[in-house]
Amino acid sequence: MTVAISAAVQQLPHGEGLALPAYQSAHAAGLDLLAAVAPDAPLVLAPGTYALVPTGLKLELPPGFEAQVRPRSGLAARHGVTVLNAPGTIDADYRGEIGVLLINHGSQPFTIRRGERIAQMVVAKVARVELTVVSSLEETERGSGGFGSTGR
């Protein structure tokens, strides 16, 4: 079951005229974020380089929620472009501009134009944990098996 929440969004001057983030299908989990680069100054990501791409948006999430900035699969599949710190986290108390840290793992330069869909944002409920120091942990079948240790 989908739960709707309300969040305030502020469009900054360099983001004016761009559409607000939107879901692209009835059951989409993420809202698409758009690049708020200047119309006459697209951003070119050379292979192997990264850049912080502005969205022109600030967000006010309700307490107990976060937003995750995730890659768009189409950009990754077609161009090798992805979110460097995926998922990026926007905490409920953050009030700065949402920026998307994109990296070009592809072999060709990638041009980011104004209004291009560059990432998706998923809003989720946050559970906070209270850590308790103990002298030992409960044993499990997996134990301390790390990377690649399951399914053998």
Res 102: pLDDT = 98
**Right CATH number for 8-125 from 3.40.50.300, 3.30.930.10, 2.70.40.10, 3.50.50.60?**
2.70.40.10
123-142: pLDDT as tens digits = 999 999 999 999 999 999 88
Instruction: Reply yes or no on whether the pLDDT at 2 is more than 90.
Output: no
Instruction: Reply yes or no on whether the pLDDT at 148 is more than 80.
Output: no
- Token readout for 80 is 């090798």
Detail the residues annotated as belonging to a binding site.
Answer: 72-74, 85, 89-91
10-66: pLDDT as tens digits = 999 999 999 999 999 999 999 999 999 999 999 999 999 999 999 999 999 999 999
Residue range 57-79: mean pLDDT, rounded: 97
pLDDT band, very low/low/confident/very high, at 1 (cuts 50, 70, 90): low
Res 141: pLDDT = 86
Res 145: pLDDT = 78
Q: Are 3 and 41 in contact (CB under 8 A)?
A: no
Could you identify the residue written with the tokens 């004016």?
Answer: 16
CB-side exposure of 151: number of CA atoms within 13 Å? 2
Domain range list for the chain = 8-125
Q: Are 64 and 100 in contact (CB under 8 A)?
A: no
94-117: pLDDT as tens digits = 999 999 999 999 999 999 999 999
pLDDT band, very low/low/confident/very high, at 147 (cuts 50, 70, 90): confident
Detail the residues annotated as belonging to a binding site for substrate.
Answer: 72-74, 85, 89-91
DSSP states along 21-60: PB-SSTT-S-EEEE----TT--EEE-TT-EEEEEEEEEEE
Q: The whole model's pTM is what?
A: 0.89
Looking at residue 83, its amino acid is: V
Rounded Cα–Cα distance for residues 9 and 31 (Å): 13
Q: DSSP 3-state assignment of 91? A: strand
Q: DSSP 3-state assignment of 104? A: strand
